[in-house]
Homo-oligomer: A and B are copies of this chain.
Amino acid sequence: MLSYNFNVLTCSSCKAFFRRNALKDGNALKCPFSGNCDLTYLTRKFCQKCRLNKCFALGMKKDLILPERELQLRKERRIRKKLDLKLNKNNDQKSCNSSSDETQDISGSDCDILDQFLFNNTISDEDIEAQVMDIETCLTSTAAKVCESVTPIVSINRPITDYNNNFNAIEGNRLTELLSASNSLKISYGSVVSVADTYIDAMSALCCNVEEMVIKSIEMSKNISLFSELCVNDQISLMKYGSIQVTYLRNITGFDPNTNQLTVPDEDPSQSVLVDLNAIKCTKLYVFEACMTAIILFDPSRPNLQHRKLVKTCTKN
């Protein structure tokens, strides 16, 4: 239970408390009393300021808290590791594909569909952060080149003062900005050059598309000044969930209910791929749709859940 933490034998709660507070600037915490509270294990919660003081007094050292840059390094390492893992997995899958091309009956259970979908779409905080960081640097340090292709979008749209509306100047600006940003998400469909009508092809085309749209969404959000003003953490949280949904919203345009096919843009902007959703859907009845519904329902990240873990385990059955 007790162990050495930051140079002193403490309980785990004091360890956490010290890490959370030791680096705060001196005025962040304030003693509501006379500043010399006598704290024990039981009364430790009475006064944060004095609790922290006691930590220091007993010899806890804030230098032992890893510095920002060290954390950053670790984080990057972790992210890199995760990406590598993903790439390897994808490659493994690819090499499998090329050997057995027409197999409609993929080996592995139906749950693989679920797994794959979840895996490929579960963008972790860190993934997003990596993306944001990436784009961030693109937009700032490599400014010249990238900004040329990003900034113009904002100014292309004419101000929306030219039709009668009830907006004031600020509202007008916000909306203009929003429309411009939104415009950059518009999907331009080139001529259809290939049809993805096997399970594997359809699935990978979809995944690529989702991935790209997520990135585009993030880029777009950079064009919304209000969004940029949020702290990075919140940007990430919002994007993590929002980008997927934006992707759905935007892709509706490419869907043809008669043929049950979805047109998605290719990497080459002048080309498109026609994804035959039947290839996914029909091979295994409506497993896909049902699973999607289940995923949406059993989302353990919903707010106000009392038993997140329970919900979580549901997804696994």
Contact = CB atoms under 8 A, between A and B. Distances in A.
Contacts of A215: none
A297 interface: yes
Interface string A290-315: 11111011110111111100110010
A114 to B, nearest CB: 10
Interface string A37-75: 000001100100000000000000000000000000000
A253 interface: yes
Interface stretch (A89-97, A201-209, A234-242): A234-242
A289 interface: yes
A144 interface: no
Contact of A252 (B109, B178, B255, B307): B255
A182 B110 contact: no
Tell me if A's interface is mostly helix, strand, loop or mixed.
helix
A119 interface: no
A249 B307 contact: no
Contacts of A80: none
Contact of A296 (B179, B234, B242): B242
Interface string A115-130: 0000000000100000
A167 interface: yes
B238 A311 contact: yes
A317 interface: yes
A223 to B, nearest CB: 11
Contacts of A105: 164
A206 to B, nearest CB: 14
Contacts of A306: 231, 233-234
Contacts of A305: 233-234, 237-238
A17 interface: no
A227 interface: yes
Interface string A98-141: 00000001001111000000000000010000000000000000
Contact of A182 (B252, B293, B310, B314): B293
Given A185-B293, A226-B317, A254-B257, 8 more contacts: A178-B290, A179-B285, A182-B293, A217-B297, A227-B314, A242-B299, A245-B245, A245-B296
15 contacts: A110-B167, A160-B285, A179-B286, A179-B290, A182-B290, A183-B286, A217-B297, A224-B297, A227-B298, A233-B306, A238-B299, A245-B245, A246-B296, A249-B289, A249-B296
6 smallest beta-carbon distances between A and B, as pairs: A182-B290, A109-B166, A242-B297, A237-B304, A245-B296, A178-B290
Interface of A: 32-33, 42-43, 46, 105, 108-111, 125, 160, 164-167, 170-171, 174-175, 178-179, 181-183, 185, 217, 220-221, 224, 226-227, 230-231, 233-234, 237-242, 245-246, 248-249, 252-258, 285-287, 289-294, 296-299, 301-307, 310-311, 314, 317
